[in-house]
Structure 1
C-alpha cells in the first residue's frame, strides 16, 4: 500500500505567523533587503522596477504565464503603493514581504477570504506595535489605516478573481475498448412491438410533472361539466314543477266549470 502524503494544515493565525523562519514571526528584510529597495528606487523605468520586484518576491510560476504576470503585477503595484506613501526601506521591505506571505499562503492553502484577511490582519498587527518579543513597531497608526484601506480595496476586492487563476485544471482522457462485432447468426428473433407493450406516459411516475397542465385542464373541464349538469338538473326540476302546477290549475278550472253548469 503506498504511503499517504501528509496534508498541509492551515495555520493558526492567532498564535504563529505562517511562513515564519526559525520561529521568528517577523518578515523585515526576509525577501527584500535595504539595498534592494534603494536599487529599485534608482531605476528609471517601470519595466525595470517591475523586473526587480518580481525577482525579489521570487515569483515561482513559469515566466510568461498568466499566473506569473498576475503575481508580478501584484508585487509591482504594492511597491508603487509604498512609494506613494514614501515608506522607509524598513517599511517597504516589511510591507512587500507581508503581502507576499498573504498572497502565497492564501492560494497554496486554499484559504477563504475571511481566513486570508485574518492572516493579513495578524501580520499587520505583528509589525505595528512595539511589544517585544511578540510584535515590533515598524508601521505607525496612519500606516496601518492606509495599508488596510489599500489592501481591502485591491487584493480583497478581487480575491475571488485571484483565486480563480490558481484553480488547478486537469484534462481527463478516457479510453474506451472497441466493441466487438456482433455475430448476427447468434441473434434471436427481434422483439415484436405491439400495442400491448405500450404504456400510457401519463401513468409513469417519472413523467408525472410533464402532464400537470393537462391534468389541471381536465379538472377544470370536469368542474365546468358538473356545474352545467347541475344547472340543467335544476332547470329540469323547475320545468316539472311548473308543468304540474299548470296541470292542477287546468283541473281546478275544469271542476269549477262543471260546478257552475250544474248550478245553472
Structure 2
C-alpha cells in the first residue's frame, strides 16, 4: 500500500522533501528503539562537508558510534539492544570519502568502514561521477584507524550471476583486497543491496559466510538487534546534504501520544 508513495518520493525530489517534512513532525530520532542503525553513504563532496558534519553531530547526540567489528560483537552477544548504536559505512570507494569525510570523522572520534570494489583500485570506471580512492588513499584511511570491506570485484548485480561467478565476486574480492591492504576483510556490502533483484537471499549470504565474511550488508532500511540479522544487515542510505529533520523522518520513531 505504501509502495506508490515510496516510488513518488524517490522519483520527485520536491514531493519527497514535502513528505519527509510532514513525516518529521511525527517522528524523532530520540524516540527510535535501541539497536544497530547502519548508515550508508556514497559521495561526500566538499560542498556538503558541513552537512555531513551536522548529521554526524546530530546522530552523536542520540546514540553511540561503533565500528563494524564491534557491531558484530554487539549483535552476536545480544547486547545491541542495550542502547542505540550507529555504524557509518561508505560504498564504492570515492576519493572524497578520504579527502572530505575522513577529517570530519576523525574530529568527531567516529569509526567507519569503506566498502571497496576490488577491480576499481587500479582500474576505476571510465566515466565515474567522481574520482575514486587509489591505493595511497586507502592506506591513509586505514592509518587513520578506519576499516575496509568488500563491495564485490566489479560491482556486478550478483543475483544475475551463476554460482561460480557469484562466488568470484564475493570471495575473490575478499582475497584481492586482503592482499592489497594487508588487513583481514571481514565485511561484505552487496552492490545496490535489494533482495531478489540484486542478490539471492538463499545463496549469496551463505556464499559470503562460507568465504570468511562475518556480515552481509543490504540496503533494506531497518534496525538490527541480534545475530539473526548478520546474513542480511539493514542499512539506511543517506546523502550528506539532507537536512536533519529528514534524519528524524527516516530513522526516528513515532512520537508518543499525549
TM-score, with length taken from structure 1: 0.24
| Higher relative helix content | 1
State the structure with bigger RCO (CA 8 A, min sep 6), 1 or 2. 2
TM-score by length of 2: 0.24
Larger Rg over CA atoms: 1
| Structure with higher strand content | 2
